[in-house]
Each structure stands twice: as C-alpha cells, then as structure tokens.
Amino acid sequence: MSDMPATATIRVQRGVAGEAPRFEAFEVPYREGMSVLDALMWIRANRDSSLAIRYSCINANACKECMVEVDGKTQYACTARLGTAGVTVGPLGNKRLLRDLVTDIVPPKETLANALDDIER
Amino acid sequence: MPRLGLRHGPRPGPAKPQYRKNAELTHLSTDILVVGSGGAGMYAAVAAARAGARVLLADKSLIGRGGATIMAQMTVASAIGEEAPDHWTHHLADTLEAGRGLCDEVLAAVLCEESPLRIREMEAWKVGWAREGNHIKQVTAPGHQIPRCVYVDFLNTGPAVAKTLRGQVARGDGITRISGLAVTDLVVRDGRVVGATALDLESGAPVTVAAKAVVLAAGGLTRIYRRNSASVNMGGDAYALALRAGAELIDMEFVQFFPIGHLAPRLVGMDPIMWDPFRYKLGGRLLNGQMDEFIENYGASDSGTYTAPRDVTSYAIVKEAAAGRGSPAGGAYLSFEHVPESELRTAFGPVIDRLRDNGIDLTARPIEVAPIAHYHMGGIRVDERMQTCVPGLYAAGEAVGGANGANRLSGNAIPEALVFGERAGRFAADTVRRATQGWEDGAAEAALDTLRRVTGRPADGAASPALGELMTELQALMWDDVGLLRDEEKLTGALTRLRAMQRDDLPALAPGGGAFSLAAQDWFDLRASLLCAEAVTRAALERRESRGAHQREDFPETDPAQAENRILRLKNGDLMLESVPVRRAPVAIEQPRALEAAS
C-alpha cells in the first residue's frame, strides 16, 4: 500500500505532578528522518496545544532543553529519530514532574523561588 | 547579594471578582528588568550590574539557552585587524553598503566602533575565538571587503558566546536570574515604563515586577514565518511589548531571508543555517535543478566563492524555482562534491561525522537549500543610548531596528547583541541612579486582567487545537503573502486577515493555566506575533519599491525618493505609519578598497 500516507504512532505520557500518569496515543504523519520533537510539535499544532514539552532551539541541538525519555532512554527529542514503528515518550524519571513531558530542570539559582528566598533571608 | 523587594498574597484594591477570587500575586521590585537572556540580554545585565544597578534578568526559556545567540554558527564581524589591516570605519562602509541606503548610520557606527571592545572583552572572558599562529583568525564573509569575521570552531560560536556570558552573569553581583518567567506586558504610568506583568510558567501564577528601567532584549520575529531558523521564543515579543507601551518601531518591512537554509534531506540536531560556514571555508557551488550555476544571471557572482549578497541570492533561488528550474524539494542544490574528503575533515572535523549520521556524504551528492527567515532588520527605534521614546524603556540586540537598514551584513548580528546589550545596560544603569520607582498597582490592572482571563481555568486539551491552527495559519500567511516576493494584492489580503485574527480569533481562545501551561504561553506568543505580523505587512504595503530584503513584484525597481525610514506606532489600537529621513553617519568613512590597494 505504498500510496497510503505513512503515519507513526507516538505514545505520550500526560498529567501533572500528583496525578497517576496516563498515556495518550497520537497518530502523526511520517516523513523519513523526522525527529521525535517534529512529531510532538505536530501534535501541538494540529491535535492538542495543551501538550507540554520544554524546548527552545527546535532543531539545532544547541539549547539542550528538550531532554525526555524515548522508549525509556534519556534523549534529546530534537535528535531522537521517529521510526514508522513509533515510540513511547515520557518525562525524565529522575526529575520533578511539572506537566506531561516537562520536568524541573531549571538550575536552582534561576528559579522564582530562589529569587524570593534571596529576599526573605 | 542582590536584594529584591517582595510582596506576597492577595492584592488589595478594586477587583473583578471572577478573576480575583483565588489570585495570589507575587510582586518583585528591581532597578532594571532585562527581558530576554540571549547575548544582548546577558551583556546588558552584566553591564548594568557592574555600573552598580540591581538587575532582574528574566527569560521565558532557561537563562542563556533560548534566543538566537546560542544558535550562531560562525561569523562575528569585528575590525580588530588581526588577519589584515582594518579599521572600524571600513566595517561601517561595508555595513552601509549592505544596508542599501537605509541604515541608521549613527547606530551602525556605534556597532562597528565598539565591536572590537566587546570581542576583546569576550576574549578576556575566555570565549576561545579560533586562532592561527599567534593571532585570532578572521575570515571573509559575503559583503566584507577583507577578512574580518572571528568565530569559534567547529560551528560553535553561539554556544561558546552563550556559555561565556552565562558565566559572567552568574558571577555578577546584583544580578538575579529567573528562568521560565514570561513577560506579558510592560506597565506604563504617566507615559513612563515602571515595570511589567509576567507569567511564572512553573506555577502558572501571575507576577508583577516594579522596575525603574526595562531593557527589551527578547530578539526578533522570524518565527512568524513558516520556514524559519528561529528558536520557539522568537515570535516578536520585544516589538509587541514596545509598541503597546508607546514606543516606535522602524524598518519593519525588512525581514532577512537567509538564502541557503537547509532544505533536504531531513537533517536533525543541526541548525539549518549551517551551510553558511561551509561556504566561508570551502566555497561550494550553488546550482539550479538543471545543475547549472545561476547567480550570475541575477547580477552577482558566486561561482566557487561566497560573495553574492544575501538578498540577491535569496531572490535568485526563489525565481529559479518559480521558473521550474528548482531542485526536487523546491530550492537549489549546494555542491561540495569537488572538495576532497581530507579538506572537508580539516575544515569541519566532527561535523562531518554528524552529517554522515544524517545520511549526508558531501563528496557523493549535493544537498538542497532554500531561503529561510533568519533575522529581522527592523525593530524598536532607539537613540545611541539604546533608549526608546518612552522614558525608562531601552532595547538591545535584534530587538533594535535600524542599524542594518534594508539588508544585514553577514556577521553583524552577534556584535549587535554584544555592543547594544552592553550599552543598554550601561545607560539604563545611568538613568536609574537618578530615578525612583514609579510603580502603582492600578497601572497593571488591565494587563493582569488579561493574564487571569487567559490562565484562569485549568488547561483544556479538547479546546486547544485552534491555538496551534492559528499559529500555523499565521506562519503560512506570512510566508506565502508577506515573504520574499510581495505585491499589493497579497499584502492587502494578508493585512485584512491579520486584523481579523487579532479582532475575532485570538480573543475567543482561552487556553487555561496551571503548572507549565505551554498553551497559555502560546496565547501570549500569538498575541505578540499577530501584532508584529501586522506591522511587517503594513510597512511592506507602504514601501512601493524594491530594496534589499523587501522585493515587490509590482514595484521591481529601487526608488531613490524612498531612501527614508518608515516608523510605526500604535495609536488607539491602530498602527500609524510615518516616513522619517535616514540618520547619517557622524564620521567620515574611509573606503576599505583604498586600504586594500595601499596594503
């Protein structure tokens, strides 16, 4: 069925801290060589903008913000490839969960809480 | 240690109960709020702190990780004269030549004169500019008459500059950094900027910041184009914040399309601008779909070199594709097949392996490239102290308009970030020494109401596709109708739709808040992007000529009578446009050709 548009299924962990994590499956159009981040951005643009992921530079692997677990392995979403077999994506397991794929990776000296502590000392 | 003022808890005063009911509000105060932490914002923070000011450096991404600086591949223009004799006025001459008669020559002169100071300071901070023998290596970039551009190997200029400045910011006494703080509005009282409202992304809670001065260093707007090399946070925040606070924008019609952005095959983990340094070092040949060189047919020369200006090359690639002579993916071929593998390795070391991981062998076949929205020449109008017409409001970096006129010279973006950042920080610090806080809660109420409306209920996935669809539509509209080749009909249609999107579509969306509501951030991004898109379109419609990056198919010639800048300001919600004469250079400019002949 070569004239069928190719798709891949990506399972994404959803939920905020304190909720039981649940997985949601999205079928995304597949292009050879595409990254996991490409798929997540497609979901946000076309299916569900409430999906949370942290990223900035999109494709350059310069900002180093998009680290997630792809099939259980820690990877940058912008360099992890998506195959037609699909993948399961979750947040970093060793960091505090904020929402969906976003964990607290902010350096301790750069948080609002730290700025407030600074004042209260 | 830095000290910020703080107030916690429910706010007193008149309220709209539906938004106020459980509102907890954090209020901070500082001397200077710097919005955005790319190269310009970090340099501004460092300069302001060393001048004795208390600084709050806020970024909606992570400090020193978002923005454009970190993505810079290679060239930084600076007349340090280590590779060949040079003088900053020669750099200025090349900048003005590239700018097609529209550069604010005072700002351009500041950029060129102070670039060496900043490059030397970065060297002292151990950025690691590439060296050859006992001198800093400099290469010739398109539009420069001599080798003038410094860089960090391999393709590491941006990350090295960002890391160096992150280190300086962390060491700076008096700088408080906050990541994940998205500034949504500036707060203006009696015509003066007195602070800002913001969204704390982690908690989803509103924050207010009182500041004696604000430096806008939140970058450009190229994300509003479908094909762009921007980071996700470059949707025009700085311009929209400035406009809504009463400041002026200049030259908004001039969006730089980098001609040879990567197109095919799919390449991950590398910036689409990466072929630029390949051409600096190795030349390369640009070919159409029939494997013929074609730049010569458009009045420039390029064969095996890399000298054709960006605006001419972008135009030529699009025209070839439109004439049915494009590459399969709709761009042009870029070939390094004639370059031996050993030479590729010497020039780019590990990058060659990263390409191979992407299935790309440059010795075997060409890659495909096409124009990509890369940089915005237009921006916030400032004086040489980087101050806007609104007291207390400064701008720095790509957010500033005017220095690069109708077309930016290669290598001028990073010096612009460093030079304008340093000046904005220094002069803002100078101002706050004599200023008092002008904050008043009431002045922030309208902005807080918007924040509460957008984030006031839990995030709702089912209601949210419209937000992504609106952004996708905006990017397509700007690319197709306000892109490389413009005409009255397309621009008029775009303007009508952009106004409707702002009036009808965006206000109907309420994405919801809570912890890390990216959709709430999207809403504010879109609000800024739509206003910026309208500004670009309006200015493009009114410039009835072709000049630099602005190409009108219905007005293909450059009109000498339009060698003037166009200013935009917001009045009662409408964009007002005005023409002003170009500011001319304060110095006599020696032509670099004369120097070349002499040496």
* C-beta separation of A110 from B63 below 8 A: yes
CA of A46 to nearest chain B CA: how many angstroms apart? 6
**Which of B55, B177, B518, B525 has the highest number of chain A CBs within 10 A, making it the mutation to test binding with A?**
B518
- Judge if B350 and B459 occupy the same domain: no
Domain assignment of residue B2, yes or no: no
The pLDDT tens digits for B565-594 are: 999 999 999 999 999 999 998 777 665 544
- Note whether B570 and B460 are same-domain residues: yes
pLDDT at B228: 94
For an interface test with B, give the residue of A112, A114, A121 to mutate (most B CBs within 10 A). A112
Same domain (yes/no): B271, B368: yes
Quickly count: other Cβ atoms within 10 Å of residue B347's Cβ: 18
All domains of chain A in start order, with CATH: 7-120 (3.10.20.30)
pLDDT at site B585 = 81
Residue B331 belongs to domain with CATH number:
3.90.700.10
Chain B, residues 162-181, CB within 8 A of chain A, namely: 170, 176-181
- Does residue B448 form part of some domain? no
Tens digits of per-residue pLDDT, B464-474?
668 999 999 99
Average pLDDT, chain B: 91
DSSP codes joined into one string, A50-105:
T-----SSTTSS-S---EEEETTEEEETTTSBPPTT-EEEE--TTS-EEETTEE--
Give me the number of domains chain B comprises. Answer: 2
Q: Quick check: is B443 in a domain?
A: no
**Which of B63, B66, B467 is the closest to A110 by Cβ?**
B63
| 3-class secondary structure, B248 | coil
**Of B326, B344, B373, which one is at a domain's C-terminal end?**
B373
Helices (H), B368-464: 413-432, 445-455
The answer to whether residues B459 and B552 belong to one domain is: yes
CATH label of the domain that carries residue B476: 1.20.58.100
Percentage of chain B exceeding pLDDT 90: 82
Structure tokens at A90: 């979750």
The answer to whether B59 touches B53, Cβ cutoff 8 Å, is no
Confidence of residue B285 (pLDDT cuts 50, 70, 90): very high
CA distance B196 to B241: 10
In a domain, B223, yes or no: no
A–B interface: beta-carbon pairs under 8 A: 167
Mean pLDDT of A36-42: 97
Residue B476 maps to a domain: yes
- Report yes or no: A47 at the B interface, CB cutoff 8 Å: yes
**Is B538 labeled as catalytic in the residue annotation?**
no
Q: Is the pLDDT of residue B23 over 90?
A: no
| Assigned domain for B473 exists | yes
Read off the pLDDT of residues B523-548 as tens digits, 9 standing for 90 and up. 999 999 999 999 999 999 999 999 99
Residues of chain B contacting A63 with CB distance shorter than 8 Å: 61-62, 65-66, 70, 231
In a domain, B349, yes or no: yes
pTM: 0.94
Percent of residues, chain A, with pLDDT higher than 90: 80
Residue B9 lies in a domain: no
Report the pLDDT value the prediction gives residue B73, as an integer from 0 to 100: 86
The Cα B202–Cα A107 span in angstroms is 13
Exposed/middle/buried for B493, CB within 10 Å: 0-12, 13-18, 19+? middle
Quick check: B176 and B56 in contact, CB under 8 A? yes
Q: Which residues of A touch B202 (CB under 8 A)?
A: 98, 104, 106, 111-112
* Residue ending a domain, choose from B373, B405, B425: B373
Cβ separation of A111 and B522 shorter than 8 Å?
no
- Nearest by CB to A112, from B158, B200, B230: name it: B200
Same domain, B568 and B460: yes
Flag the least confident range among B2-11, B30-39, B444-453, B552-561: B2-11
Nearest residue in chain B measured CA to CA from A61: B269
Q: Domain of B511?
A: 455-581
Q: Which of B373, B403, B422 is the last residue of a domain?
A: B373
Q: How confident is the model at residue B20 (pLDDT cuts 50, 70, 90)?
A: very low
On the question of pLDDT at B96 being above 90, the answer is yes
